[in-house]
Amino acid sequence: MTRRRPIRAVVLLSGGLDSTTCLAAAVAAGREVHGLSVDYGQRHRGELRRARALARLLGAASHRVVKVDLSAFGGSALTDAAIAVPKGRSPRAMGHDIPVTYVPARNTVMLSLALAHAEVIGAEEIHVGVNAVDYSGYPDCRPEFIEAMEEAVRLGTKVGVEGHPIRIETPLIDMTKADIIRHGLGLGVPYEMTWSCYEGGAEPCHECDSCRLREAAWESLHMGDPLNVREP
């Protein structure tokens, strides 16, 4: 009797806390995981080195980095050095409007790249660590956006029109940041290797939205953030 191969999944991996937890969860669920990271011209490009190390450590079957330079368009503090990263914002302020750290069409581009990769390697799933609870108000992290992308997969791909659309899995979308960390600790995620800071310096700035959300989550768990700022 021929054994059925494990479900194959492409996991978008930035090297950050959420995406690393997402990858570890996919591996723990028995998926054959293929990590995909995107060098889109982000100022915190050092996260990609961490993504490579994390993919190896956590058992991904493969990992690749694709370059799509969104800094050519600018329009975001993450891709344009002339735009300052907001600092010291309260959680209420973070959820009030769409900040300048929003990268136009980033998740649309990333999911499209993951979809292309998935179709080529015969993956049934794409896993992405978007979160719509503790986040900075990005429109492309919401359930409505993911549902729209799934409809695009169904209508605009060969596997979709043949009746086998690739599923987009968002296991963290309704979890708080603290819940994500708690889940990841149970999976053995090495959070000291992950990177969240938008500034991309040698050490976290502790003031950008991403740093503040991360630190608040660790504090709510009465734990210290184990982030190791040295290169992995």
Q: What is the C-alpha to C-alpha distance for residues 39 and 33, in angstroms, rounded to an integer?
A: 20
C-alpha 146/C-alpha 114 separation (Å) is 13
Task: Give the DSSP letter string of 158-178.
Answer: HHHHTT-PPEEE-TTTT--HH
pLDDT average, residue stretch 199-208: 90
- Average confidence (pLDDT) over 113-129: 98
pLDDT digit string, tens, across residues 41-57: 999 989 999 999 999 99
Nearest one of 115, 111, 39 to 70, comparing CA atoms: 39
Instruction: Please name the amino acid found at residue 186.
Output: G
User: Would you place residue 231 in the very low, low, confident or very high pLDDT band (cuts 50, 70, 90)?
Assistant: very low
Res 230 pLDDT > 50: no
The Cα angle at residue 151 between residues 168 and 173, in degrees rounded to 5: 35
Instruction: Please answer whether residues 159 and 10 qualify as being in contact, where contact means their C-beta atoms are separated by less than 8 angstroms.
Output: no
8-12 vs 32-39, strand pairing mode? parallel
- Tokens 């961490």 sit on residue: 50
- Condensed to tens digits (0 to 9), the pLDDT of residues 130-144 reads 998 876 778 999 999
Query: Is residue 3 very low, low, confident or very high in pLDDT (cuts 50, 70, 90)?
Result: low
Give the C-alpha separation, 91 to 5, whole Å. Answer: 44
Instruction: Quote the CA–CA distance of 125 and 95 in Å, as a whole number.
Output: 30
Q: How far is CA 154 from CA 145, 160, 171, 189, in A?
A: 14, 4, 20, 33
Domains in the chain (CATH in brackets) are 8-220 (3.40.50.620)
Section 88-93 average pLDDT? 81
pTM: 0.93
Q: What is the pLDDT of residues 53-88, one digit of tens each?
A: 999 999 999 999 999 999 999 999 999 999 999 999
What is the chain's percent helix, strand, coil content, to nearest 5? Answer: 40, 10, 50
The rounded mean pLDDT for the chain is 93
7-31: average pLDDT: 97
- E runs forming strands in the chain: 8-12, 32-39, 62-67, 125-127, 167-169
For residue 11, report the phi and psi dihedrals to the nearest 5 degrees: -115, 120
As a whole-number percent, the residues of the chain with pLDDT over 90 amount to: 84
What gap in Å lies between CA 114 and CA 126, rounded to an integer?
Answer: 7
